[in-house]
Amino acid sequence: MLEVVFLGTGGIMPTRERNVPAVAIRYKGEILLFDVGEGTIRQMNTAKLSPMKVDRIFITHFHGDHYLGLAALIQTMNLWNREKPLHIYGPKYTFEFVQHFLNSGFFRPGFDIHVHELGETRLKFKDYEVWSFKVEHGIPALGYVFKEKDRRGKFLPEKLREYGLKPGPILGKLEREGKIEWNGRTIRLEDVTGPRRRGVKIAYTGDTEPCERVRLFSERADLLIHDATYLSGEDRGESYHSTVEEACEVAKKARVKLLALLHRAFRYSYEEYLSGASRACREFGVDFVVPRDFDVLTYRSGAWHKSNLLEGER
């Protein structure tokens, strides 16, 4: 099961209603954290997400609302006697800025912290990959793609009967090795399985103006989490952010299944923002959500299901 937990959905500064950006992907017992704004550890405690299960933190850029929660998170890990290494990824200057954090105050972590500065990079892990790509925010800034590896198709009972195969160790060997010799025949895995199943793809932009790199990297994503700070260009002024309409246009061009509008400016109430988003996304024919803090999107049976950790299914 794969879950996206929105720990902070606002931008610039926290309000009583919403915290600043932090998005957790919970996958096979691991938590990947994308951005870690101030107060993220409190949000994780409320969401009952253990910081000890976070092995990788991906920071989009070094504006305070996206990284100032890092020190508190690391200190909590240390307080709980963490031993596993922690990996922190980010754009240019990540190493320098993280070192400033680690050298401040009377504090030194008792576990290893590995810092990785990325450009446009493809990181490969056991069951998934994370791709980083450059966005337009006036400073070094990255977006990220979480891509679950494609999975083999299901075993086809009629094909197993045709080749005289039965469930058991022989199928495990076939799955591991890709082909076996059986009853004088060479049987390949694709001979007895259906089409490969495409892994889930999630794109997260961080803060950005609309740009072609976002459209390219989010192509056919199952979920695009896009900066949509403002309802109008007039509200945005000259800041390096996107409007709801611009995020909808990117989602339409990239043919994503679902658009999540993030980083809502503190000037908007939820109702006002949702109303404006509904008009814009309806015009573009885009399926969308305006997540609130502690909303969860769970991917199962090829679709997203929305709930809230504090309120349940809705």
263 assigned binding-site residue: yes
**Per-residue pLDDT tens digits for 297-310:** 999 888 999 999 88
AA letter at 303: A
CB 211 within 8 A of CB 253: no
287 assigned binding-site residue: no
Which is nearest to 61 in space by CA: 24, 82, 91, 96? 91
Q: 158: pLDDT confidence band, cut at 50, 70 and 90?
A: confident
CB 90 within 8 A of CB 34: no
* Alpha-carbon span 236 to 231, nearest angstrom: 8
Q: State which of 167-176, 189-198, 249-258 shows the largest mean pLDDT.
A: 249-258
Q: What is the CATH number of domain 2-151+197-313?
A: 3.60.15.10
What's the confidence (pLDDT) of residue 302?
Answer: 86
Average pLDDT over residues 167-179: 85
* Alpha-carbon span 191 to 179, nearest angstrom: 9
pTM for this structure? 0.88
241 assigned binding-site residue: no
What's the confidence (pLDDT) of residue 212?
Answer: 94
Average pLDDT over residues 30-38: 97
Based on its alpha-carbon atoms, the radius of gyration of the chain, rounded to whole angstroms, reads 22
Query: Is residue 287 annotated as a catalytic residue, yes or no?
Result: no
Residue 151 in this model has a pLDDT that exceeds 60:
yes
**Residue 54, H or E segment:** strand 54-58
116 assigned binding-site residue: no
What's the confidence (pLDDT) of residue 314?
Answer: 44
Classify strands 128-134 and 122-124 as parallel, antiparallel or unpaired.
Answer: antiparallel
What's the confidence (pLDDT) of residue 166?
Answer: 82
Q: Extract long-range pairs of 240-243: CB within 8 Å, 24+ residues apart.
A: 240/136, 240/137, 240/138, 240/207, 240/208, 240/209, 241/11, 241/137, 241/207, 241/208, 241/209, 242/205, 242/208, 242/209, 242/210
87 assigned binding-site residue: no
Residue 198 in this model has a pLDDT that exceeds 90:
no
* Alpha-carbon span 42 to 51, nearest angstrom: 11
Average pLDDT over residues 151-166: 82
User: Considering only 57-66, 100-109, 112-121, 295-304, which range has the smallest mean pLDDT?
Assistant: 100-109
* Alpha-carbon span 313 to 77, nearest angstrom: 31
* Alpha-carbon span 86 to 102, nearest angstrom: 13
The average confidence (pLDDT) of the chain is 92
226 assigned binding-site residue: no
Q: Catalytic pick from 65, 222, 293, 295?
A: 65
Coil vs helix vs strand at 293: coil
Average pLDDT over residues 235-252: 91
Q: State which of 169-178, 190-199, 237-246 shows the largest mean pLDDT.
A: 237-246
Please report, in angstroms and rounded to a whole number, the separation of the first and last CA atoms in the chain: 19
Residue 76 in this model has a pLDDT that exceeds 50:
yes
* Alpha-carbon span 254 to 203, nearest angstrom: 11
Instruction: Count how many Cα atoms sit within 13 Å of the Cα of residue 36 in the half-sphere of its side chain.
Output: 24
DSSP category for residue 156: -
**Per-residue pLDDT tens digits for 110-150:** 999 999 999 999 999 999 999 999 999 999 999 999 999 98
What's the confidence (pLDDT) of residue 152?
Answer: 74
More confident residue, 247 or 174: 247
Q: 162: pLDDT confidence band, cut at 50, 70 and 90?
A: confident
DSSP category for residue 261: E
Percent pLDDT > 90 in the chain is 72
137 assigned binding-site residue: yes
Q: State which of 10-14, 29-33, 167-171, 182-186 shows the largest mean pLDDT.
A: 29-33
Which runs of consecutive H residues, i.e. helices, occur in the chain?
40-47, 64-67, 70-79, 94-102, 157-163, 169-177, 212-217, 233-236, 244-254, 270-284
Average pLDDT over residues 60-67: 95
What's the confidence (pLDDT) of residue 257?
Answer: 97
- Domain residues of the chain, as ranges? 2-151+197-313, 157-191
What's the confidence (pLDDT) of residue 312?
Answer: 58
